[in-house]
Amino acid sequence: MEWLFTLVGVILAIPTGYILKILTSDEIKYGRFYFKSIAIASVIFAILSILLPLDAVLKKSLFFGFLFMAIVSFISWK
């Protein structure tokens, strides 16, 4: 059941990215480098969070948190 909540949270990253892209279109033109950097760093940290020897709940929270940030910044960047 907890996986369902986390997947819904990650799926909600898609409309969040589009809303951010629409509302901040002027800032995104100048900050494309930062959105790209955040997306790449989030993917790297998501992979690292899986590999670290942490508690299962903390590992899942970090992974899906970084995955959420990667999806939002990637959609805003593109």
- Reported as a single tens digit per residue, the pLDDT across 55-74 is 777 777 788 888 888 888 88
Residue 36 within any structural domain of the chain: yes
**Mean local confidence (pLDDT), 17-30:** 77
Total domains in the fold of the chain? 1
Residue 4 within any structural domain of the chain: no
Cα–chain center distance at 32: 16
Evaluate whether residue 42 is within a structural domain: yes
The residue whose two tokens read 């959105």 is 35
Given a cut of 70, whether residue 1 has pLDDT beyond it is no
25, two tokens: 């279109």
Name the residue with tokens 């950097």.
37
Query: pTM of the full predicted structure?
Result: 0.74
